[in-house]
């Protein structure tokens, strides 16, 4: 005899499977480079782009929320029964609920206040993104792939016809100077970065001296781990300046105490003898 279709079981399985998809895409997004790097280099991981991972994460989140609400609806009576004490009074503040609440509040609070171990997770994410930037390079500015050949050519001290000639000599099919790097890249099956490098071959030298992005949220320890500053000298300098800082302190917090910007503080720490 064929088993009767159960909507309740379907909701439970949907909740579980959407949680797995959301968790997987969340982990993958943790491993991805910054958006400007991903779009610039046509980055993929296990066959999917950062945009595809983001889209999957968002849609699976909505499915998870819908299944979760439906799941609560189906299990409302057992939930209410669980929250009742032996006198059959509704007591939502049970020990187990309070423990779960405190755990969640700790994660939220520690993250907002940049405290360990949450800040260590944030630093790891920053380190991963820095790794990708060192490995594949960064665009000259955010969303440079959307710029046209004509607007980018002056960066290399050349005119549009020269830029077009360079691209065609490099084997790229280009229609006109009004095309964006992204359009040329898609048409030729390459990344926007390769188009830019063919047009302005000296760009990588110029990019190497560009300031690090997201300086404010970086911790002092993460900058030291990346070899940009000396941790001991940096902490000694900040202590001498009356700044209450630890290796896990962000550049924004330290700079705020000095009345300067994160980038200015970084340049100071980098230049310490």
Q: Which of 57-61, 62-66, 107-111, 135-139 is predicted least confidently?
A: 135-139
Tokens (6 digits) for 251: 């550049």
Q: Is the pLDDT of residue 78 over 90?
A: no
Instruction: Write the burial class of residue 257 (CB in 10 Å: 0-12 exposed, 13-18 middle, 19+ buried).
Output: middle
**CB within 8 Å of 143: residues ≥ 6 apart:** 36, 39
The answer to whether residues 39 and 81 touch, using CB atoms and an 8 Å cutoff, is no
Q: What integer pLDDT is reported at residue 222 of this predicted model?
A: 83
- Work out the average pLDDT over 228-245: 91
Confidence of residue 1 (pLDDT cuts 50, 70, 90): low
Q: How far apart are CA 151 and CA 158, in angstroms?
A: 11
Structure confidence at residue 92 (pLDDT): 63
Percent pLDDT > 70 in the chain is: 91
Q: Residue holding tokens 């993460």?
A: 222
Cis bond upstream, residue 117 (ω within 30) = yes
pTM metric for this prediction? 0.74
What is the rounded distance in angstroms from the CA atom of residue 196 to the CA atom of residue 2? 62
C-alpha closest to that of 45 among 139, 119, 128: 128
pLDDT of residue 137: 80
**Residue 130 token pair:** 């820095």
Averaged pLDDT, 37-47: 92
Residue 225, CB-side half-sphere exposure with 13 Å CA sphere: 15
Cα 161 to the chain's mean position, in Å?
A: 37
> Does the pLDDT of residue 87 top 60, yes or no?
no
pLDDT of residue 207: 47
Amino acid 39: pLDDT: 92
Asked if residue 208 has pLDDT above 60, the reply is no
């Amino acid at each position: 005899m064929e088993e009767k279709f159960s909507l309740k079981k379907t909701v439970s399985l949907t909740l579980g499977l959407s949680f797995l998809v959301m968790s997987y895409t969340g982990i993958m997004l943790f491993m991805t480079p910054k958006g400007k790097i991903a779009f610039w280099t046509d980055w993929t991981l296990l066959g999917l782009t950062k945009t595809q991972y983001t889209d999957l994460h968002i849609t699976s989140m909505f499915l998870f929320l819908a299944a979760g609400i439906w799941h609560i609806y189906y299990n409302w009576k057992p939930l209410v029964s669980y929250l009742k004490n032996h006198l059959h009074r509704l007591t939502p503040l049970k020990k187990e609920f309070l423990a779960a609440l405190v755990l969640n509040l700790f994660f939220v609070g520690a993250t907002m206040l940049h405290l360990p171990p949450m800040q260590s997770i944030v630093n790891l994410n920053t380190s991963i993104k820095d790794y990708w930037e060192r490995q594949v390079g960064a665009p000259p500015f955010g969303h440079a792939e959307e710029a046209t050949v004509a607007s980018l050519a002056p960066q290399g001290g050349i005119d549009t016809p020269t830029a077009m000639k360079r691209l065609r000599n490099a084997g790229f099919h280009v229609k006109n100077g009004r095309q964006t790097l992204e359009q040329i890249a898609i048409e030729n099956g390459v990344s926007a970065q390769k188009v830019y490098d063919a047009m302005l071959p000296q760009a990588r030298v110029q990019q190497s001296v560009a300031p690090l992005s997201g300086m404010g949220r970086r911790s002092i320890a993460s900058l030291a781990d990346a070899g940009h500053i000396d941790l001991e000298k940096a902490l000694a300098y900040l202590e001498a300046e009356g700044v209450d800082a630890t290796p896990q302190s962000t550049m924004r917090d330290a700079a705020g105490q000095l009345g300067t910007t994160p980038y200015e503080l970084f340049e100071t720490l980098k230049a310490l003898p």
